[in-house]
Chain A
Amino acid sequence: MDLNRRVLPERYNGGTKPALLPNWWQELQDAAWAEYERLPMPSRKDERWRFTDLGKLAFTGYTAGSPVPERSRSDLQAFFHRGEAPALLFANDSLLFSRSISPEAKKKGVLLTPLLEAANGAADLLKSYLFRERVALGAEKLETLHRAYATAGAFLYVPAGVELEQTVDLSFWLTEEDAATFPHILVVLEENARARIHLRFGSTNPKGGFACSVQELFLGAGAQLEIFTGRKWAEGTCSFDLASVRLDRDANATTFQFNQGGGYTRTESRSRLLGSGARSVMLSATMARNRQEFDQRSFQEHSAPNTRSDLLYKSALYDSSRTIFAGMIDVDPGAQQTDAYQSNRNLLLSPDAEANALPGLEILANDVRCTHGATIGQVDPEELFYCLQRGIPLEAAQRLFVLGFLTDVIDRIPDADAKRSLTEEIDSSVSQPRRS
């Protein structure tokens, strides 16, 4: 199939339980498809695709809803059973495994369910949030494609005043080179609710695939969300991850992404600070290798007074990899006492790597504090010589520099477990033998 031609996949082949798509959802899909066909393809002329290597975007030759081979299923099962947290695991958009939240949390009204189940069991609640947000930082066509296809995903609902202590693990996998996935993550935290999510994207196949995910995160007044996203698609995978977080008064969100693998990865992240006192921390650490491209766009939308946003994106680039960062801080006229920060730092470890940074500000209020900046640097030859003089070989020295470079962003992950597991992951990732 081509993603340009609509083919409705069969749902849940090999999955746990089939569920039907309700009419209202089918109508949403039909409308999205019509919009998808109308929207233009990403183009170099569009400022929001500036620097993107459009040749790396691939929309054809994928199948939505590919069956999951037994071998991948048992690999994923082994992976799944290493965890203990409440979790949902999808592969090629089929739900393979799930572990529910604790009975105590259930009693308090917390809901963690696959979207399709929610569509049948909690339709009214789901309907009032699903597909409400638009990230719209350039990938509108992909966003509508997502809406036309997405059925796999998770709905997490935490009622007012409830703190979900367990971290929720969500993972989405591709098992075939020609498979496509459209993960949807919908999180609703009512007033003063709290939750933490660990989201993972990965492949069991060595090469290729297509992914287009959307996160819609709704934070009521005083709510707190931490969401940690780890991406590690197979080499050559084309992926789009579009996320919007809406924050009411005094709500607090920390999003952290750790990016590696894939072929072309575009992330669009929008923080909407809609109530006074809201705060959003946006962190990203990327390790780009080979010919990978990471194309990251962000938008810090200050619509209310006394709001804070703090963005730090760091990338280490090996080989012939590329990164793009284009960020915008947007301060409405009414958003006085905004405190916004945006920083993008890149470390080039190879003369063939290329980092592009486009920090941006648009400020319509007069009493604000906004800082932005970007750097692109190389390893200091004197620092390298110092490491070599201690007998540390070049590759190991580079590993130290990358770890050192990423330290400050990793240190800002609030959750100690997440921090430890990330440090280990980065450690093993920088230690992996490089392909030349």
Chain B
Amino acid sequence: MSLQISDLHARIVERTILRGISLEIRPGETHAIMGPNGSGKSTLSKVLAGHPDYEITQGSVVLDGVSLLEREPDERARMGLFLAFQYPCEIPGVSIANFLRAATQARLPEGESLSVTDFYQKLYHEMDALGMQRTFSSRPLNSGFSGGEKKRAEILQMAMLQPRYAVLDETDSGLDIDALKVVAGGVNRLRGPEAGLLIITHYQRLLDYISPDFVHVMVAGRIVQSGGPELALELEKRGYGFLEVQYGSSELSPLAGAGAPG
């Protein structure tokens, strides 16, 4: 049982972005990925979720024993994969509540229909926990939301959908200190022996609240270093410069074509 990424290569319009990512996330584990801008972190998250713009040229992803890459994005999601987007898009005219009802309904067995009362009870419970006003549930999803509100709405969705593996792409950016604590609380509530987390972040401050089991550094489409929580602290101090010198930028990577380190 795990989300297992092996030697994953992906490109977009003739440009290779992921160059051999290998990573295994087991339920109960929390992994963090850090890395300079443009190193491919969001690309990894979108490739996992099945974004149609990317072409997989090599490698595999297996979720709890089932190969993921041939599946449609919605199937992957129903298999238990959740992505909190770095830039959540606006869905005009569709309220948070209706959107989440559709997503919840999609997870029920054929012919079964959602109990509206149970749904709202759960929704309001999670909204309360995330410090969101209940009236927010009737607002069109992400339309006119502030940056922080969008991130909270991502965590709300995660809480409602209870994924087995969640990828959080910079869910901490744009949050004020209080919001950061609330969001971290939401993430920590999902944590447990049943859920595996992959947290993409630039900042140690999120990791202060969500202490990861593993930290990985991505440079130029590869994971160039992995370690424990102490690695994040070191990066905070030293920056990525030393690693970039060692592993290059994606344009002139000395290791282009080589396998994944580690």
Contacts and interface: CB of A to CB of B under 8 A. Distances in A.
B73 interface: yes
Q: Which of A389, A405, A408 has the most CB of B within 10 A?
A: A389
Contacts of A399: 102
A408 B89 CA distance: 19
B103 A385 contact: no
B91 A400 contact: yes
A380 B77 contact: no
B74 A400 contact: no
B107 interface: yes
B32 interface: no
A401 B94 CA distance: 7
A253 B85 CA distance: 45
Interface in A378-402: 380-383, 385-394, 396-397, 399-401
A388 B105 CA distance: 13
B241 interface: no
Given A388-B72, A390-B77, A393-B74, A383 B91 contact: yes
A383 to B, nearest CB: 5
Given A400-B98, A404-B140, A386 B103 contact: no
A306 to B, nearest CB: 33
A397 B105 CA distance: 12
Nearest to A394: B74
B103 A391 contact: yes
B181 interface: no
B91 A408 contact: no
A422 B9 CA distance: 49
A393 B99 contact: no
Given A400-B99, A403-B93, A405-B93, A391 B85 contact: no
B83 interface: yes
A383 B92 CA distance: 9
Contacts of B85: 386, 389
B257 interface: no
Nearest to A380: B89
Given A388-B77, A392-B74, A404 B91 contact: yes
Contacts of A400: 91, 94, 98-99, 102
A385 B106 contact: no
A391 B74 contact: yes
Contact of A404 (B49, B77, B94, B100): B94
A396 B102 CA distance: 7
Q: B interface, how many residues as a size bin?
A: 20 to 34
Nearest to B142: A386
A57 B105 CA distance: 42
Contacts of B66: none
B89 A383 contact: yes
B161 interface: yes
A407 interface: yes
B93 A392 contact: no
Contact of B103 (A390, A401, A405): A390
A388 B71 CA distance: 12
A385 B102 contact: no
Contacts of A406: 93
Given A385-B51, A404-B94, A392 B89 contact: no
Q: Which of A381, A390, A403 has the most CB of B within 10 A?
A: A390
Nearest to B157: A390
Contacts of B94: 400-401, 403-404
A381 B78 CA distance: 20
Nearest to A405: B93
A382 B73 CA distance: 12
Contact of B161 (A380, A391, A403, A405): A391
Nearest to B140: A404
A399 B98 CA distance: 11
B91 A386 contact: yes
| 3 tightest Cβ-Cβ pairs between the two chains A and B | A404-B93, A391-B77, A407-B93
10 contacts: A386-B85, A390-B99, A391-B106, A391-B107, A391-B161, A392-B106, A393-B74, A397-B74, A403-B94, A408-B93
Interface of A: 380-383, 385-394, 396-397, 399-401, 403-408
Given A401-B94, A405-B92, 16 more contacts: A385-B51, A385-B73, A387-B74, A387-B91, A388-B72, A391-B77, A391-B106, A392-B74, A396-B105, A396-B106, A400-B94, A400-B102, A401-B91, A403-B93, A407-B140, A408-B93
